[in-house]
Amino acid sequence: MQALSFATTPGAIARGAPARKATVSARRGAARTVRAAASAPAAAVEASEVDFAAYIAEKNAAIEQALSDSVPEMYPERLHESMRYSLLAGGKRIRPCLCIAACELMGGSMETAMPTACALEMIHTMSLIHDDLPSMDNDDFRRGKPTNHKVYGEEMAILAGDALLSHAFEHIGRETPKTVPADRTLRVIVDVGKCVGSEGLVGGQVVDIMSEGADADEVTLDTLKYIHAHKTGALLEVSVTAGAILAGADEEDVERLGKYAQLIGLAFQVVDDILDCTATSEELGKTAGKDEAVGKATYPSLVGLEESRKIADDLIKEAKELLSEYDREKAAPLIGLADYIGNRKN
């Protein structure tokens, strides 16, 4: 079984990267969803972007339906309402799209990937619910709506997150079509588990929390890369590799697509840092300018806005180059997603 390939220590992630000290600061954050991209006027965009927009529009409709079906309204009503409130609150659905696009590129179908795609969105959503809690980021708005704990209270928000997390694994195991060999499904469950736990999201969140209280010169670019690779990159990476594995991709392809995902994952977070200090809360659907407010080290604070933009662009370019191995038409959705992540406005 191939282990997920996101790096596991700050040094491993940042090998070769200079350790820079935190100095500067930031400003405010922006908006357009993948779905909004789907309705962009054709005259204003390239033909390939129109194709990508149509692809995303089609997938998003199917994803929204599958997400709604995955958590029905049932007893205890308040718990399921709370789970559905955050899960169906919108969001760009980048992780499900990546999973489905990778599965299709490797010859699989949307139906094969959909249960895992929904599970990834459940995990992402629960991480947002917990991240917004008073004991974590203490945020009042998410996806343009009051945060889960503001509507349902802290106890329910914690438990809704817990329930979404466990339901995600049940959902992959129970709903993945039986035509998919069981060892593939098992491998996906293991990989998703790894990317969520202490070597993934939770590990990244812990280092992030510890860094907030640290002296500015203790938070290097290596530390920042560790946080990003784990807190954000791990789930994006497993979204792509899981889709490929479900389709029966060989190891070389799984590895190549994993590398593509690591690059877009880092770019995603660099752009997130840029948006936090350049866009408004309305545009972002969440509180802008938080990084600076809590003295968090970010790409703009460490290397400046201009250099951050260049880093994001270079990462996206490198990610797309990896896809040149594949038929351009078949790889178009993943190429489009890379561009979307690099240019996103919320």
* Residue 92 in the binding site for ligand GRG (CB under 6 A): yes
CA terminus-to-terminus distance, the chain? 36
By beta-carbon proximity to ligand GRG, the closer residue of 247 and 308 is 308
**What are residue 141's DSSP bridge partners?**
146
Binding mask 119-148 for ligand GRG (x = CB under 6 A): -----x--xx-xx----x------x-----
By beta-carbon proximity to ligand GRG, the closer residue of 98 and 221 is 98
CB atoms under 10 Å from CB of 226, counted, come to 26
Would you say 336 and 52 are in contact if contact means Cβ atoms under 8 Å apart? yes
Closest CB 184 distance from ligand GRG, rounded Å = 23
The two tokens of residue 78 are: 């308040």
Report helix angle 154-175 to 182-196, nearest 10.
160
Closest CB 309 distance from ligand GRG, rounded Å = 17
Binding mask 218-247 for ligand GRG (x = CB under 6 A): -------------xx---------------
Would you say 116 and 99 are in contact if contact means Cβ atoms under 8 Å apart? yes
- Residue of 71, 164, 201, 334 interacting with ligand GRG (CB under 6 A): 201
CA dist 102 and 104 (Å) reads 5
* Residue 94 in the binding site for ligand GRG (CB under 6 A): yes
Q: Is 295 left (phi over 0), alpha (psi -120 to 50) or beta?
A: left
Closest CB 216 distance from ligand GRG, rounded Å = 22
* Residue 302 in the binding site for ligand GRG (CB under 6 A): no
Q: How many residues bind ligand GRG (CB under 6 A)?
A: 18
* Residue 79 in the binding site for ligand GRG (CB under 6 A): no
DSSP state for residue 2 in the 8-state scheme? P
By beta-carbon proximity to ligand GRG, the closer residue of 130 and 184 is 130
CA dist 252 and 270 (Å) reads 27
CA dist 131 and 118 (Å) reads 20
Binding site for ligand GRG (CB under 6 A): 91-92, 94, 124, 127-128, 130-131, 136, 143, 165, 196, 201-202, 205, 231-232, 272
